[in-house]
Structure 1
Amino acid sequence: MFLMRTGSEPATARSALRMRLWLTLWGLVWAIFGTVAFALVGRPGWALACGVLWVVVTVDLTLVLRHIRQGPHYQPGRDIPPYRPAEHRHP
């Protein structure tokens, strides 16, 4: 069976928020570890870089959790069918 593309894939794409959540948590652990480790060995530049990364990862984690809590519109489960492509009518 050959499935044709409709051309609406970018408009109907869904984000893998749960995977992004776990990757963000993994990055958060490493950013905290890097900040503390570089601060303890006296590398303030690297500690600052890891600290900035820590802030970026925390903001991303907040956004991911917000989208997950907004419900099935942003994180649809297997029981929610895919969005129908927009039908374009040409005059």
Structure 2
Amino acid sequence: MRTGSEPTTARSPLRARFWLSVWGLVWTIFGTAAFALAGRPGWAAACGALWLVVTIDMAMILRHMRQGPHYQPGPDIPPYRPPEHRHP
């Protein structure tokens, strides 16, 4: 829903989210391997669970990137009027 205060060309920062998830993926893989080699199975399992979460997040980000831009109302659609602030 448009309120009239957002830019008409605003987009989600999917590329930034993608590169942050790549960074998280690298660290979770490293953490899982390092803790497994150090004989810390609990920490390795925790890093493995985070690895799964990061992988699912990356898949969703890539899906959204492949979908492309979604419908946005054009300039011919009037925006909703922003609420007026009353000062006491």
Deviations 1:16-36 (A, max 9, x none): 000000000000000000000
Aligned counterparts, 1:12-91, within 5 A: 14-73=11-70, 86-87=79-80
User: What is the CA-CA distance between 1:68 and the residue it aligns to?
Assistant: 0.1
- Computed over aligned residues only, the root mean square deviation of the Cα atoms, in angstroms, reads 2.7
Residue segments in structure 1 that go unaligned for 5+ positions in a row: 1-5, 75-80
Q: Which aligned runs of 4 or more in structure 1 are off by greater than 3 angstroms?
A: 6-9, 84-88
The structure with more radius of gyration: 2
Distance 1:39 1:13, change over 3 A: same
Aligned length: 74
Indicate the structure whose relative CO is greater, using CA pairs within 8 Å and at least 6 residues apart.
2
TM-score (norm 2): 0.71
TM-score (norm 1): 0.69
Task: Name the SS for the 2:79 alignment partner.
Answer: coil
